[in-house]
Structures are given as C-alpha cells and as structure tokens.
Structure 1
Amino acid sequence: MNAQTPLSQDWSPADLDLIVGDYFVMLAKDLAGQAVDLAAHQRALRFVTGRSGGALDFKTCEISAVVSLVGLPILTAFAPRWTYAETVVEAVERQLIARPALF
C-alpha cells in the first residue's frame, strides 16, 4: 500500500501476504522456543504497509482464526477474531503452499 492510499481501504493481496508471512515467521520462532519480539515485527509491518498498530493487531487476530481452523497452533498473543474476510483465508492458503516444510 502506498502512503497516499487511505487506511480505510481493503487490504491488498500483497499486504496480506506480508502480514500472513510474518505471522508464520513469528509462529515458527515461538514453536521453536525462541523469543518473538512482537513490537519489532509490528514496527516493520507498519513501515512497509502504512497501517496502524491497531489495524495490524486486528488483522493478525483474523489470521489466528484462519490458522486455527486449518488445525495449526496459533500465536496466543493474538486471540482469534472469527469475522474475517475470504481474502485472509486466501492469503493463509498462499503462505501454506509457499511454505510446505514449515509445519
């Protein structure tokens, strides 16, 4: 998303791929017993997407819901939010296909 795009607009597939990919990076670290710096991940995503911290948290909770539905563990810091868009499901599917050895 470029800096001129209003934040109220829907998430682009590219931005969804970024946040879902980052979710799986954090989840892999968490499952490996490594510390996850949630604030650092959020700062990076805020910089790249131009989204607010609240918007990122909200979307990450939607990702947790979808991830739990496919039977994977979730990041407990982000409780599932069950009202998610189909675009979130599609982004999770793309990441799972791109990372077959991850889980």
Structure 2
Amino acid sequence: MNAEHWSDPENDAIVAVYFDMLQQSLGRSKGSIEFKNCNISAALIGFGLPHIGGYQPRFNFQMALAEVVSRWLARNPSFETASAAKMHPGFAEASPLFSGVPPTMKNAPPLAELSQIEAIARRFDVAGRDERNRSLGKAGEERVFHH
C-alpha cells in the first residue's frame, strides 16, 4: 500500500471512477452499490484475480455478474497480465523461516463460497484462459530474449 500522497494521475483515475459510478447509480442506494461491489469481489475471486479489500466478497451473486466480469476481462486482457505480475513479482529474497503455530492444512474456501466458485468454473473456460496467459507469457519471454 502506498503511504505517499496520491499523484495527479491517481487522483484523475479515482475521480473518473467516482463520476462514472455517480452517473450509473441513478435509482440505486449507497448500500445497494456497496453490496454489488462486494459481489464483484466474489466474482473476481472465482476467476482467481485480486479484489479490493474494502469490498469483502459476498458470494450470493447473479451469474450474469460473472459473465460481465468475463466480458470485461476479454476486452482488457492486459489486466490479468498486470495482476499476475503484482501477485507474483518474480524473484525475491527468501522469506525467513516460519516460527509459530503451524498453519492449518485446509486449502479450500468455506463451503458457502465453494458452490459459487464451482459455478463460475463450470461456466467459464478457465483452462482456455490459462492457455492464453501461458502463450502471452511465452511471447513476452521470446521478445525479451530476442531484444
């Protein structure tokens, strides 16, 4: 998280988002908009993407919302690439050994979330998206190698 002052481009972007939300929110309450953003967070988790922490995921969303997210991702393929780079920045210094209470071995979302995530996975071609990401990564590596 950046503790510095917001830059002009960051302020421009956030104000644009605000005005876009203001124009789109006619007839919707503040709570309704916040709840929908929580649903978007849940859909992004279903796609294996990061979400805004302030909008805690609520997994009881319409499948149409996941379809909208899928269409947005198809129109903005650079988002997944940039997100992957932020989530996995590459080589880093090894973290110190963990000392404390060992973590649990459970590596699955709670049951309430599992059915929604499975519904998204059944509806969308996750393997196809993975293949596109791999080919994009390979093309990037080849470009760097030839450069």
TM-score range for the pair, normalised by the shorter chain length: 0.5 to 0.7
Give the 5 Å matches for 1:51-62.
Answer: 51-62=28-39
User: Does the alignment pair 1:47 with 2:20?
Assistant: no
Unaligned runs of 5+ in 2: 81-147
Q: What does residue 82 of structure 1 align with?
A: 59
What is the alpha-carbon distance in structure 2 between the residues aligned to residue 42 and residue 83 of structure 1?
A: 25
TM-score (ref. length: structure 2): 0.41
Measured on the aligned residues, the alpha-carbon RMSD in Å equals 2.8
TM-score (ref. length: structure 1): 0.57
Determine what percentage of the aligned residue pairs are the same residue: 27
SS state at 1:66 partner: helix
What is the alpha-carbon distance in structure 1 between the residues aligned to residue 35 and residue 25 of structure 2?
A: 14
Q: What does residue 78 of structure 2 align with?
A: 101
Q: What is the Cα deviation at residue 54 of structure 1?
A: 1.2
Aligned residues of 2:25 and 2:33 also touching (Cα < 8 A): no
The structure with the larger Rg is 2
What code does the residue aligned with 1:52 have? S
Give the 5 Å matches for 1:60-75.
Answer: 60-75=37-52
Consecutive aligned runs of 4 or more in structure 1 exceeding 2 Å deviation: 34-37, 39-44, 46-49
Q: For each residue in 1:61-89, what CA deviation from the matched residue of structure 2 results, as whole angstroms up to 9, or x when unmatched? A: 00000101111111001000010001111
What is the alpha-carbon distance in structure 2 between the residues aligned to residue 52 and residue 89 of structure 1?
A: 22
> Number of matched residues?
71
The higher relative CO (CA closer than 8 Å, separation ≥ 6) is in 1
SS state at 1:81 partner: coil
